[in-house]
Amino acid sequence: MVDADYAKYKDPKESFDSRIDDLIDRMTLEEKIGQMVQIERSVASADVINKYFIGSVLSGGGSVPKKQASAEDWVDMVNDFQRGALSTRLGIPMIYGIDAVHGHNTVYNATIFPHNIGLGATRDPRLMKKIGEATALEVRATGIQYAFSPCIAVCRDPRWGRCYESYSEDHKVVQAMTEIISGLQGDIPANSPKDVPFVAGKTKVAACAKHFVGDGGTTKGINENNTVIDRHGLLSIHIPAYYDSISKGVATIMVSYSSWNGEKMHANHDLLTGFLKNTLRFRGFVISDWEGIDRITSPSHSNYTYSIEAGITAGIDMVMIPHNYTEFIDGLTLLVKNNVIPISRIDDAVERILRVKFVMGLFESPLADYSLVNEIGSQEHRELAKEAVRKSLVLLKNGKDSDQPLLPLPKKAKKILVAGSHADNLGYQCGGWTIEWQGLSGNNITSGTTILSAIKNSVDKDTEIVYKENPDLDYVKSNDFSYAIVVVGEKPYAETNGDSLNLTISDPGPSTISNVCGGVKCVVVLISGRPVVIQPYLDKIEGLVAAWLPGTEGQGVADVLFGDYGFSGKLPRTWFKSVDQLPMNVGDLHYDPLFPFGFGLTTKPH
């Protein structure tokens, strides 16, 4: 006798493929299209998810259940949405996504790791894996199962506002850093079928390699713009890290806003379907970027029906809508009913989305509990972040000549001046994509240690620390300081807001350097998402450290300045003399850097 209630797709003993086939056979067009939709939490509710069979929800940058929400608040919200999905006819769970790009960076009290450019300076894939593991635990602690990470862009021009999201200008470094995927998702078992996505259960998340492809190669580094390069260049610079990501079982790949030789990636069938799905045999799902299909047209959203057709036909499986979901659902439904888009394309998309959901065990454990809430900002994760900071620091100059190095600095000193806009600003130290999309200023944004506090924690008990953000030259000269530490750099930004043609240190940084380093021997610590103009001040500076965007654990900076650990970081990108040289990357014919790719002085710990 056949069990009337038995549904093969609900049986964990069945193979993924037979579960997928069984479920797709039962689905209506409406249910299939719902799976392809990802909406923002601000327009989501259990009722909306139930009514439209929504397959996925996300938090955009800074989008939270409430200000300073606890892990429990997040779990409750995600579970509420999930109950909406589970109460549909077929009970297909939704998957919740968030930009956890340097730790679980939208969540109050989470551990914020250095941004990718700093991690690229570590050259340490084992560390990357550990960061992936820690990030996965903190993301799962909030009930979320999907992280839009890692960004495996190869930034070829630091004028790009997302350059700090790129590990390096060299694809080999980026490839090595894809080890973070094994941390986020878990190690692929030896017997696992090749190129099939893999997520190892409830302490791991689905990862997302992004942005396919060429996002870091746009002209003048203009965000979302056009990458002009031949196919060979695309394959040899921008695509290699995708091979590594797919072989590590990456569950999803996000499409780039940018164009390749004038063709929008979101509409590029040749690369999304022909290359990624057919040649590379990627079997996870392809997701659009935020309003990515809207931006196929210029102006954005000006011919939405065309955009839906172009994007879905190109090979996008899940669409990050994020707000006007009914317009998308109605548009796509009509295109399928009128045979403009074949049902086979819809089935391919749904099969891929379901594969990821089945593989990660979402059908068996759709609801989160509070068992991991203590992982948020745990001491163990903060120690790991501190290690990442220490290994990410690049020492660019140490003393007027190599016979008399200034670093490591003595902890026993009579009086030390700490100056600069970035010395006592946790928000500046974390950069963009921290609590808010564009980042924030100030010390009460989340919990962490500023560089100033870290310096105070590190020096001898009898050493006097004087902090003055922007002192004048007379003050510096008349106070008998043993030496000074100047912490300056860029203010936080994300994406297009960070595009810059001049790459200068934020005011009053340059005058702080001039005043302080003109009056006493000084170390300048640069907090920036990329190389910035420093050559004009270099003669005055005795010690120069590129600290990138270190995140919440400022203690890691002081640990190395004062010699508890040695400097070991290597430049993940070329440091230019002047912006007129850009773009300039290692291997170029006219390569004339201030500091070459891979440069980094070392020191021995005390």
Which residues make Cβ contacts (< 8 Å) with residue 303, sequence separation at least 6? 297
> Which tens digits make up the pLDDT trace of 356-413?
999 999 999 999 999 999 999 999 999 999 999 999 999 999 998 878 999 999 999 9
Can you give the pLDDT at residue 5?
Answer: 74
**pLDDT surpassing 70 at residue 170:** yes
> Which two three-digit tokens encode residue 483?
């030496």
Contact 290, 258 (CB under 8 A): no
> Which two three-digit tokens encode residue 505?
């240190």
* Choice between 403 and 539, residue whose per-residue pLDDT is larger: 539
Can you give the pLDDT at residue 403?
Answer: 86
138 vs 427: CA distance, rounded Å: 20
Can you give the pLDDT at residue 1?
Answer: 46
* Choice between 133 and 606, residue whose per-residue pLDDT is larger: 133
Which residues make Cβ contacts (< 8 Å) with residue 391, sequence separation at least 6? 121, 122, 124, 127, 568, 569
Q: Per-residue pLDDT averaged across 411-437, rounded?
A: 98
Can you give the pLDDT at residue 4?
Answer: 61
pTM: 0.98
**pLDDT surpassing 90 at residue 606:** no
Domains of the chain, earliest start first: 14-360 (3.20.20.300), 393-581 (3.40.50.1700)
**Bridge partners, 57 (sequence order):** 39, 96
Q: Say what percent of the chain tops pLDDT 90.
A: 97
Q: Is 542 a catalytic residue?
A: no
Options 124, 244, 289, 542, the catalytic residue = 289
> Which two three-digit tokens encode residue 343?
């049902």
Can you give the pLDDT at residue 140?
Answer: 98
Confidence tier at 3 by pLDDT (50, 70, 90): low
Q: Per-residue pLDDT averaged across 85-108, rounded?
A: 98
Q: Per-residue pLDDT averaged across 247-257, rounded?
A: 98
Can you give the pLDDT at residue 194?
Answer: 79
Contact 173, 572 (CB under 8 A): yes
Question: What would the DSSP string read from start to end of 475-538?
Answer: HHHTTT-SEEEEEEEPPP--GGGG--SS-PPPTTHHHHHHHHHTTS-EEEEEE-SS----GGGT
Q: Is 169 a catalytic residue?
A: no
Can you give the pLDDT at residue 193?
Answer: 83
Q: Say what percent of the chain tops pLDDT 70.
A: 99
Options 495, 499, 542, 559, the catalytic residue = 495
| DSSP collapsed to 3 states, 200-212 | CCCCCCECEEEEE
Q: Per-residue pLDDT averaged across 36-65, rounded?
A: 98
**pLDDT surpassing 70 at residue 86:** yes
319 vs 309: CA distance, rounded Å: 12
Q: Per-residue pLDDT averaged across 227-241, rounded?
A: 98
Confidence tier at 145 by pLDDT (50, 70, 90): very high
Can you give the pLDDT at residue 401?
Answer: 81
Range scoring the smallest mean pLDDT among 48-52, 400-404, 448-452: 400-404
